[in-house]
Amino acid sequence: MSDRIEQLADQMTLEEQVSILSGEDFWSLPAIARLGIGKLRVSDGPNGARGGGSLIGGVRSACFPAGIALGATWNVDLLQDIGVALAEEVKSKSAHMLLAPTVNIHRSVTNGRNFECYSEDPILSADLAVAYISGLQSQGVGATIKHFVGNESEIERTTMSSQIDERALREIYLIPFEWAVKKAQTWGVMSSYNRLNGTFTSEHNWLLTTVLRDEWGYDGIVMSDWFGSHSTVETVNAGLDLEMPGPPRDRGQKLVDAVRSGAVTQATLRKRVIAMLRLMERAGSLDDHRPFEEHANDRPEHRALIRRAGAEAAVLLKNKGVLPLKGDGSIAVIGPNAKIAQIMGGGSAQLNAHYRVSPWEGLLKAVGEDRLRYAPGCTNHRFEPVLRGPFTAEYFANETLSGAPVHTEIQDDAQAFWIGHVGGGKVDPLHFSARISGTFTPEHSGAHRVGIYAAGFAKVFVDGKLIADAATNWTKGHTFFEEGCDEVVGVAQLEAGRAHQVVIEFVTKDFGSLGLAAFAAGIGLPLGDKDITEAVRAARDADTAIVFVGRNGEWDTEGSDLPSIELPGRQNELVAAIANANPNTIVVLQTGGPVEMPWIGSVAALIQAWYPGQEAGNAIADVLSGVQEPSGRLPQTFPVRWADNPAHSQDHEVYPGFEGKVRYEESIFVGYRHYDRLGLTPLFPFGFGLGYTSFALSDMVVHDAGFEADGDVAVGVTVTNTGQRAGSTVVQFYVSDDASSDPRPAKELKAFAKVSLDAGETADVTVKLDARAFAFYRERARHWLVEDGSFTLRAGLSSADLPLSAQLTRKTTLMLPV
C-alpha cells in the first residue's frame, strides 16, 4: 500500500470517506475535488464495454463472443488477448473497470445466463478467467469477477437462497474466484444478488471476510451487484466495500450515522476506504480528471480477433463428410437465424454493436450469391420483432401523460431501457410518463401480432385503436430482470405498403428490487405450413441445405431461465423436414447451451456456433467453407433430454426453488460428474468436438518423484496430427481417486492444453499438477486432504474418450490449508 493512499485516507472527512463507498450514479463514484481524487467509472461486460450506460442504444462498441463461446475455445492465450483488447474498449468509454468476467457454473442447462459463463467445470472456468483478468489488468483496467457466489439460476435471483454445502462450494463454485484472487490478483469481486445458505452474499461475513480476505489474502474491493445491497451496518461489517449503483440507498448519511453511533467502527470504515483508494490508484482514476467522453472505436484488429475467436469457438458435433463445403454446388440457406445475426445473449451483457454480420451475409462473401437460395421456414422469437424507427418520444414530468412534454427526442426503435439520466434529465427516472409515436409499413397484408412488455404500464395503439394493453391488468412476469410483465399480444389487420400509425403510451410503476423503467413493442406476421413447405422445396432443389436454428437473446438472457431445452417454435419440425428432403443437410445451432435434438440421426452435419459476436456470419462462414478449423470443444455436457441434467428434479426446492430456497442436492456431482455417477450416456460429452483433421495420443509419461513429499506431478503425452490438414485439438487430463473415504466423482478435469499441429506433425505436451489436483475438501476438518492410496491419471480428447492412463500411489496422507 502506498503512502499516498494512507495520507489521502487521513485527510478525508468522515463524509468524504463514506462518499466513495457508494456510487454517485449508475456507473461512477463521486470525485473529491478538494483532495484531487478523480471519478472512478465502470462499464458492463463481459463480451464488450458498453457505451452510454443503457442496455439499449448508446455509443457503439465492439461485441466479442459470449462467455460460453469463449469457454468452448479452451484457449487461455486467446482469452488473454481478448482481455487486452477489452481493456482498450473500456478506455474508449472513459471507464476504469469492466464488470467481468462471469464465472458462475453451469449447474442447470436451463439457466438463462449460462451463455455469459464459461463452463460446467470449475477448472476450465478458472483457467480461462485467470487469462481474461490477466490480459485486462495488464493494461491498467480492473476486472470485477462475478457473481460471488451461488447465482446459477435467474429465477427469483434477488431473493432466492442457494443452499450449498461447503464441500460443493470449495470444490466447484468457489474455484474460479479463488484462482482469480490467487493467480490473477483480480482488483474487483462482485457479490451476487442471492442469499447463500440464508444470508445475502453482500452481507455474508464468512464469504467476504473469512474466505475471501483471511484465507485467500484478497486485497481488492467487493462491490454489490446493482441494487444488490440490502443493509448498511451488516454489509460494511461483513466486507462489502462498495454499494452500487448511486445515489446510495443504504449508505450516505445512514453510514455516517452508523459510524458515529459505533455500529460501524472507524477501523472497519478505514479498511473499506483504503481498499477503494487502492483500487483507484491501480486503475488510474485517482488522477484522471479528463472530461467524460465515449468513443465508438471500430478497430480493425478487434474485428479480426473477434472473427478468429468466433470461428475457434465453433464446435463440430457431427460430420458425415459434408464439411467443409466442397465444389460449387447450390446451397439452400434456411432457418430463422440465417438472415438475423444472433451475436449475443440478453441482459446486462448486451450492447450496441458496431455492426452485425448474419450467416447469410457471411455466406454471400464466402461462396457468392449465385449458389444461394433462402427460405426462412419458421420463426424462433420469444417476443414479436421489435418495431424499427424512427420514433418520436415525448416525455412528461408526471405519471399521467398530461400537459406539455418537457423533452422530445428521436429514438431508433420501439424499445427503451431507462436508468439514471432519462428524458434529457428533465424527468424523475422512476416517476414519469412517455408517448412514443411512429409508423409501421408491413410487407404483407394480414393479421399481424402486436406485442408489448414493460417494466411499467404500457399500451400500444395502431391507427388510434388500442391493440395490446400491458397496463390495465399488469402482472409481474419474466422480463427486464423480473421487473417487467410477460408479453401481452393483440392482433391487428394491416395492409401491405401502408404506413400504419403506431403509438405507445408508457407510465412508470413502483419497482420491486431494481430501479428501472423499460418497454419493448413489436409487430410480426406469423409463419405457417406454407413457409415450411417452401423451405423443403428449396432444400430439395439444392445440392446442400444449411439450416440455421437455435435461440436468441430473448431466450438466453439475464433475468429469466429457459422453460425447457427444446428448440422454440417449429424448429424441430423444420430440421426434420429439411433432413428428409436433402441427405446433405447441415445444421448450424446458435444457443447459449444444449438443446434436445430428436433429428440428430437424420442430419449429415452439426455445428454449435453459440453467440460469436459481431463477426458471427463471417466466423460461421469461415468454418463452413474450411477457411478456419472448427476447433471448439464442449464446455458443457449436452444431455439427451433435460430430465438427465443434475438439477432436474421432481422436488421443486432442487430446481427451480421453493419458498425462497434452491437446494443444490447434487453437491459436487455437477455436469459430467453427474452423468458418470449415474451411468448416463449424454448426447455429446463434456470436452467433445470434431475437426477437419484427426489426432492420436500416445506415450503417456508420469513424473511423480515429488508426489509423496508434496503432491506434485508432471504428466506428458505425445500428440500426432494423423489427418491431411493442419488443425488443433485439446488434450484433457483427468484425475480419479481409486478408493476415497468420502464420495468422489469418477474423474475430474485437472488440466488441459490446446495444441495446433500441421498434417503429420507430432508434439509432446506436458502439464503440471499440484497437490490440490488430487485433494478433496473435508468439511468436518475444514481442510483439503490428499489421502494415501492409488490415483489414476487419464488423458484424452473428451470426458468420454480417455485412452491413456497411468496409476500412482501415495503411502501417506497430506493435509492442505484452505
Cβ neighbours, 10 Å, residue 314: 28
Whether 225 is a known active-site residue: answer yes
The CA distance from 484 to 474, in Å, is 9
The phi, psi pair for 763, rounded to 5°, reads -145, 150
3-state secondary structure of 94: coil
The CA distance from 169 to 176, in Å, is 11
Task: Decide: 295 and 59 in contact? Cβ < 8 Å.
Answer: yes
The residues with which 451 forms a beta bridge, in sequence order, are: 489, 522
Q: What is the DSSP string of 183-218?
A: TT--SEEEE-SSEETTEEGGG-HIIIIIIIIIIT--
State the greatest distance between any 2 C-alpha atoms of the chain, in Å, as a whole number.
84
Count Cβ neighbours within 10 Å for each residue of 88-117 and write b for 16 or more, e otherwise: bbbbbbbbbbbbbbbbbbbbbbbbbbbbbb
The CA distance from 96 to 79, in Å, is 20
The phi, psi pair for 40, rounded to 5°, reads -85, 130
Show contacts of 284-293: CB within 8 Å, 24+ apart: 284/96, 284/140, 285/38, 285/39, 285/40, 285/41, 285/96, 286/36, 286/37, 286/38, 287/36, 287/38, 288/38, 288/39, 288/96, 289/31, 289/36, 289/38, 290/94, 292/39, 292/41, 292/94, 293/94
The CA distance from 286 to 31, in Å, is 9
Place of cell 433435460: 642
Place of cell 457505451: 51
The residues with which 470 forms a beta bridge, in sequence order, are: 458
Element (H, E) at 249: none
Task: Decide: 83 and 47 in contact? Cβ < 8 Å.
Answer: no
Q: What is the DSSP string of 293-344?
A: -------HHHHHHHHHHHHHH-EEEEESS--S--TT--EEEESTTSSS----
The CA distance from 585 to 605, in Å, is 7
- Terminus-to-terminus CA distance in the chain, angstroms? 25
363 Cβ neighbours under 8 A, 6+ residues apart: 331, 333, 372, 546, 617, 621, 624
Task: Decide: 612 and 620 in contact? Cβ < 8 Å.
Answer: yes
Task: Decide: 334 and 569 in contact? Cβ < 8 Å.
Answer: no
Q: Which candidate, 647, 549, 540, 619, places its Cα nearest to that of 589?
A: 549
The phi, psi pair for 309, rounded to 5°, reads -65, -40
Element (H, E) at 279: helix 266-283
**Out of 127, 225, 250, 704, which one is annotated catalytic?**
225
The CA distance from 389 to 386, in Å, is 9
Report how far apart, in Å, the C-alpha atoms of 18 and of each of 24, 265, 268, 272, 288 are: 11, 13, 12, 9, 20
Q: Which residues are catalytically annotated?
A: 225
